[in-house]
Structure 1
Amino acid sequence: MRQEFFTRERLAVSLLFLMNGFVIGSWAPKVPDFARNLDLSESELGLMILVLGLGSLTCMPLAGAQIARFGSRTVTLACAVVFLPTLLLLTLAPSIPLAGLAIFLFGGFMGAMDVSMNANAVETERQMGRSIMSSCHAFWSLGGLIGASIGGPLLATYGSTVQSLVATVLAGVMLLAAWPITLRDQPHPDAEHRKARLPMTPLPWLLGIVALFCMVPEGAVLDWGALYMRDELMGSVATSSYAYAGFSLTMALMRFAGDIVRDRLGAVTTTRICAVIAMAGTALAGFAVEPWMAVIGFAVMGIGISNLVPIAFSAAGNLPGMASGVGLSVVSSMGYAGILVAPSLIGFVAQHSSLALVFRCLPLLLLVALLLSGLARHADRPQS
């Protein structure tokens, strides 16, 4: 097993993560236009977002089974091709039923590509003999940042259709660049077919709990961080925007550094350190009495959460006796289920108490991840 820092295959899978994040980031600023074009109320828009999540949860397990049969490269590239035009479908959908179908396909192909590109990253890790998962997720975060950053000005200047066309073309260029150099893994259909069934062992489900309990706090900052700072800490609109900005900045930076840290300390130790840091940052945000304290708390929280999910994904792709796509589909589905359920659940709790209480309780979820940190040992590859 060769120990190389950078290969063509690593570049390819990084580009695929960048493309996926870029398309999702391009969707984010379109949401108001999407709702206005279809004359959706807030509750109807919420149902549309729910359909997006249901599309992901439906297609993720299907992708895992196909990876076991055909290999991660084939499934990833196929999912990327069908995912590519869905942003345009969302833009051009003329009615609510067709928009519902388009957003289901958008979420479904997004989730399927997510599972398969993570499986390809696991295979690339094995080939290289070093960790790359955290940096792959960093490229996903970077793609989201780029997509959202250029999407807003394009929308304001040229409109939704032009923005979608530009985003689709740029995403297509990323896909074309990655296509010829994506790692060609060799599945063994006869051996893998038996392993592609719903796993009966507890390991992938326990790792799924880790991903779930780490992604709920991430969703909480995304959906409720600014509102918490504005309504309960009396921060300004500008200051409140720093909640997710501080969190996402530190998370992206630490994901680029995470592979080096993980290779040096090991996945278990890295998970434990990250979980403790995430708990401290979340508690600081929850007990903040000034907006700047909450911003610092969210930034510290981003440092901690940054590498928890990538390590869980690596571990899921390396579980003994199980096809990597199957373990990844379980962990991905459970993790994204947290992002899907968390906004409504947090809103219910906040309506009857406060967002401060929510953030004060979130460290308990991260404590579970800390207690299950021993499972991260599956993310470490034996040294040759």
Structure 2
Amino acid sequence: MDIKKEVALLNDELIKLRQDFHMHPELGYEEYRTSKIVANYLEECGLEVKTVAKTGVVGLLRGREQGRTVLLRADMDALAQTEMNDVPYKSVYEGKMHACGHDGHTAMLLVAAKILSRCRDQLKGNIKFVFQPNEETAGALDMINEGILENPRVDAAFGLHLWTPIESGKIGLVAGPTMAANEEFELAIIGKAGHTSSPQTAVDPIIVAATIVQSLQTVQTRESSVLTPTLIMFGKIQGGTGRNIIADKVELGGTIRYLYEDEVRNKELLKEKFERVIKGICAAMRAEYEMKYIPSNPSVMNDPKMVELVRTAVKETLGSESVIVPYLCMAGDDFAEFTHRVPSAYYFVGTGNKEKGTDYPHHHPRFNIDEDTLATGVELHVRTALAFLND
């Protein structure tokens, strides 16, 4: 099979799929329209299709001969964000937008499934095409808990992410820790309400919260090695009802990100430092606090052997290994759950092109992708799956 020719013949369909998904973004576990389109498409390709984890879809392609099973994954969910792009395929839903590339991920894996289904007689083993809901809030684990790594048992997993920080035509790939582990948290600072004219009669949770936000920066800059990246970030803060009222409570939320080899041990140490600062400030300033951690994902951990398969696929797709850049980042992705269970590789397809306006960061209201890079992602999906099964 001429893979490049097959990809080229389906390029218009690929772009049409991506733009349709972009126009109709759906939040985590609300991907009803998307999952229906995905399921119908896979069934038309002759795959065994089932729904998993509410809106997730798994398509199983069985090869002619028995062998190993490889998993290819795409995420489907969008973000609660209003799009600011002026394009014909702009989101039709106010407050919802594909600002992370998942529309492209879904389209690329669908087209890859169609191409691979046409060569099932050449396959030694099986391919599971996993279309995952709720990546932004860790939906992979729900799919795993519902058994997608079994029947047949998955031997390896591959995934990719369209990535605007990397120039179009480049591929980000590295073995070992690749994307950061992430702990999300909700923190409530509880004070005592009062009048702003008499602060001595109250306990002001706003100034307590401000002190905590400032002081926690020392955990990442003074208590963590620069060789073990650590980020503590607050994404929201809410409190108060009036300009002349001392609030009784302030609520904060944020993330703790880290990229460690010894992840389990260091995570617990980091959380101890984090809470020590909060507890100490609250005690000193007569406030109380409530802390809740929201389960998120560990780090993405790339297997060296799987990385070499991707490296070969890149060379075959783009003609040279020189397009590969050693790239890792502090963003998180719950593909990590697969990497901690089976040998895996997760890599970045550069889609940043300033002239096309696709150089905005992920989660920006003007985020968009260079659609010329979609074909690259399809071909890499196809080549990595074939390489693993026929190795």
Q: Shared topology, TM-score over 0.5?
A: no
Decide which structure has greater strand share: 2
Higher helix share: 1
Q: TM-score range by the shorter chain?
A: under 0.3
- Structure with higher Rg: it is 2
